[in-house]
Structure 1
């Protein structure tokens, strides 16, 4: 039988910017309450993470994946995604049909 409650562990530990590894739901909640300032606790990413971590602890079903994603989003809430122009080009629109040759 799998663990239920705050002792439930993530499939892969979550690495934080300060080097801490979060292995269980309880550790993720404690880390978020410790590192998120009170002025930012009403941000959508933080409130969503808190809700989903609670759902994952209360219900012994497949909420762990969503809890992991929400925790990562709350931890990295200020990071802006950068466009990488050196990324692999997509093949969309480059398909050649035999009739066009």
Structure 2
């Protein structure tokens, strides 16, 4: 039987530098140890809310993991690849379209 409450483990531990968040309790302690200014950021507040909901209400630990990963990567901006798609003009038409 799986553990209940704050002792539940993530399916994949969250690696932060040389530290690993293995349980919900580890993640909660990490968030509460953040500086107050960073702790008040909406992404961390949402992550903590997801942690509490999973720990006390049940549900998949993946929800809490997603919240933490979103808060950790909140400054990441995906790079736009301008050559991702070719424009449609200049291509030959098919025989059926002529």
Please report the TM-score for the alignment, with normalisation by the length of structure 2. 0.77
- Count of aligned positions: 95
CA-to-aligned-CA distance 1:22-76 (integer Å, 9 cap, x gap): 1100000111122x210122211011011110011012222x1110011112223
**Largest Rg, 1 or 2:** 2
Q: Which runs of 4+ in 1 moved over 3 A?
A: none
Unmatched 5+ stretches in structure 1: none
Task: Quote the Cα distance in structure 2 between the aligned partners of 1:39 and 1:15.
Answer: 22
Q: Tell me, what secondary structure is at the counterpart of 1:65?
A: helix
Please report the TM-score for the alignment, with normalisation by the length of structure 1. 0.75
Tell me the equivalent position of 1:66. Answer: 63
- Confirm whether residue 45 of structure 1 aligns to residue 38 of structure 2: no
Unmatched 5+ stretches in structure 2: none
The two structures, once aligned, show a CA RMSD in angstroms of: 2.7
